[in-house]
């Protein structure tokens, strides 16, 4: 039987290999309250959402057959209900809260 033994150094190396996208997704699922509107926009765009022009301080992201997500670009950090919308969008795209 093969047994994997992880040391602190190997765990650090694995975490370091995680991309920025993966780290951001992890922070969103953890419910971190330090997510910025720019980070939310980046992750939505990576998921295939497209921002539609709106007036004022809101950006609406749309994707066919998905619920639209509107973020307030002046809220830094995002409020809890917007982080929950991001979590829902990630789940709908197949990401899991591990």
Where are the chain's structural domains?
A: 19-92
Does the predicted TM-score (pTM) go above 0.85? no
58-62 β-sheet, strand order: 50-52, 58-62, 69-72
As a whole number of angstroms, the distance between CA 40 and CA 73 comes to 10
Residue 15 pLDDT greater than 80, yes or no: no
25-79 pLDDT, tens digit per residue, is 889 999 888 999 999 999 999 899 999 877 788 899 999 999 999 998 888 899 9
Secondary structure class of 51 (helix, strand, coil)? strand
Q: What CATH number is given for 19-92 in this structure? A: 3.30.920.30
Residue 89 pLDDT greater than 80, yes or no: yes
In this prediction, residue 22 carries a pLDDT of 85
In this prediction, residue 48 carries a pLDDT of 92
Q: How confident is the model at residue 21 (pLDDT cuts 50, 70, 90)?
A: confident
């Amino acid at each position: 039987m093969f047994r994997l033994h992880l040391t602190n150094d190997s765990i650090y190396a694995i975490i370091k290999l995680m991309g920025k996208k993966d780290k951001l997704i992890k922070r969103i699922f953890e419910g971190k309250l330090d997510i910025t509107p720019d980070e939310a926009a980046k992750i939505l765009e990576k998921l295939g959402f497209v921002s539609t022009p709106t007036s004022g301080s809101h950006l609406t992201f749309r994707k066919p057959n998905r619920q639209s997500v509107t973020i307030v670009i002046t809220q830094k950090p995002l409020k809890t209900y917007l982080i929950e919308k991001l979590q829902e969008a990630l789940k709908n795209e197949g990401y899991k809260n591990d």
